[in-house]
């Protein structure tokens, strides 16, 4: 289904308002989720809104929470999310990092009492218009295997990085530390599609292509094996151990666990002020130079070698112009949400 960015944003905002969410928070949440859809990252966009709102209605997420700084210094902050919708707490925490980085050069913002925060990339990209480099990461319930283990050992702990460029698109890396994000496996299961080899291991750690086994009887493979496991471990340390959040198996599932309970997710955000190091125009020229080098590399057949995030930013340009082509699993989820909210989807 094709829908305009404005119409999708309005629907999401209305659904949130209908659940009693504070209007400013509803806008922030819709901003994050709709932007994610414009990138074509449909596994982490508006599809998830139904589950978030379910937790809001059951009080696992507060309708009008107040994320606040509980500890801070020149270049750091520890933020308590107050079990607000994770988009609200995460935007607050990233904004805090950006504000502090302006004078300190870099700043780190740890966040506890968070929930599933959607696409890591959104928060990292908040740094771009500030002429900063942005980072974001979060933990989640174990769903990923480690080589040598049977079952899930770490979360798919996502990581994102974003930086501005000059005449080229900005860059963004937004990745799960599993081979693919769990959302891709869920989407395949919903749509009845087989998954490629290499994504999933069954309960005995044998390869499987049966997406329906996930996550109760299968684990995602770690990105590149042991290294991906180690990166996920690092993210667990930064987003959970350091921030006083739930660690690994202590985290509750944002989709399956009792919706009246906070999930306890942690997250971490970082911003680097580019002008602390060199004039922004100089940095942007240097970025364009690096990106041009990627573009001009000899290719095996592919027409373009894309810089990180370039595909997403191209999708966004098209989405803003022509609307978003929502996949069926997203439409199904939004229709169900509309029904539960007394709204129409697509909105009239």
**Is 287 near a copy of itself (CB under 8 A)?**
yes
Q: Which is nearer to a copy of itself, 73 or 129 (CB)?
A: 73
**271, 231, 41, 110 alpha-carbon torsion, rounded to 10°:** -40
Q: How far is the CB of 150 from a copy of itself (least distance, A)?
A: 4
Q: Residue from 46, 113, 248, 255 that binds a copy of itself (CB under 8 A)?
A: 248
Binding region for a copy of itself (CB under 8 A) out of 47-55, 56-64, 247-255, 257-265: 247-255
Written as one string, the DSSP assignment of 7-50 is HHHHHHHHHHHHTT--HHHHHHHHHHHHHHHHTT-GGGSGGGHH
**Is 205 near a copy of itself (CB under 8 A)?**
yes
Sheet holding 265-273, edge to edge: 68-73, 76-80, 106-114, 265-273, 132-138, 159-163, 171-175
Instruction: Classify residue 197 by its DSSP letter.
Output: T
**Is 348 near a copy of itself (CB under 8 A)?**
no
Backbone phi, psi, residue 315, to 5°: -55, -40
Q: State the burial class of residue 314 (Cβ atoms within 10 Å of its Cβ: 0-12, 13-18, 19+).
A: middle
The tokens 């580019």 sit on which residue?
A: 274
**Is 163 near a copy of itself (CB under 8 A)?**
yes
> In DSSP terms, which residues pair with 202 in a beta bridge?
218
**Is 179 near a copy of itself (CB under 8 A)?**
yes
Q: How far is the CB of 276 from a copy of itself (least distance, A)?
A: 5
- Token pair of 274, please? 């580019």
Q: Residue from 230, 331, 332, 343 that binds a copy of itself (CB under 8 A)?
A: 230
Site of interaction with a copy of itself (CB under 8 A): 71, 73-76, 78, 103-108, 110, 133, 146, 148-151, 153, 161, 163, 171, 173, 175, 179, 204-205, 223-224, 227-231, 233-234, 236-238, 241-244, 247-249, 270, 272-274, 276-278, 283, 286-287, 289-290, 293-294, 297-302, 305, 307-308
């Amino acid at each position: 289904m094709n829908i305009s960015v404005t119409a999708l944003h309005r629907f999401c905002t209305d659904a949130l308002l209908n659940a009693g969410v504070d209007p400013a928070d509803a806008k922030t949440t819709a901003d994050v989720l709709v932007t994610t859809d414009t990138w074509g990252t449909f596994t982490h966009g508006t599809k998830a809104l139904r589950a978030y709102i379910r937790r809001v209605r059951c009080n696992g997420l507060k309708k009008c929470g107040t994320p606040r700084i509980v500890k801070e210094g020149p270049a750091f902050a520890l933020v308590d999310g107050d079990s607000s919708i994770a988009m609200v707490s995460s935007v607050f925490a990233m904004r805090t990092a950006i504000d502090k980085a302006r004078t300190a050069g870099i700043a780190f913002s740890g966040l506890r009492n968070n929930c599933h925060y959607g696409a890591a990339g959104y928060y990292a990209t908040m740094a771009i218009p500030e002429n900063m480099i942005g980072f974001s990461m979060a933990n989640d319930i174990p769903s990923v295997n480690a080589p040598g283990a049977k079952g899930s050992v770490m979360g798919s702990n996502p990581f994102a990085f974003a930086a501005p460029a000059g005449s080229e698109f900005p860059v963004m890396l937004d990745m799960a530390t599993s081979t693919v994000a769990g959302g891709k496996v869920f989407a395949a299961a919903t749509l009845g599609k087989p998954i490629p080899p290499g994504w999933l291991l069954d309960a005995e750690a044998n390869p499987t292509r049966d997406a329906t086994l996930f996550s109760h009887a299968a684990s995602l493979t770690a990105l590149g094996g042991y290294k991906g496991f180690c990166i996920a471990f690092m993210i667990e340390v930064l987003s959970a151990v350091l921030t006083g959040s739930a660690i690994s198996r202590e985290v509750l599932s944002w989709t399956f666990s009792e919706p009246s309970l906070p999930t306890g997710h942690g997250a971490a955000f970082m911003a680097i002020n580019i002008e602390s190091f060199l004039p922004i125009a100089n940095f942007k020229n240097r970025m364009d130079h690096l990106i041009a080098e990627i573009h001009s590399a000899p290719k095996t057949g592919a027409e373009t070698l894309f810089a990180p995030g370039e595909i997403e930013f191209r999708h966004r340009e098209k989405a803003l112009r022509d609307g978003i082509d929502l996949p069926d699993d997203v439409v199904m989820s939004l229709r169900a949400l509309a029904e539960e909210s007394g709204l129409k989807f697509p909105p009239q």
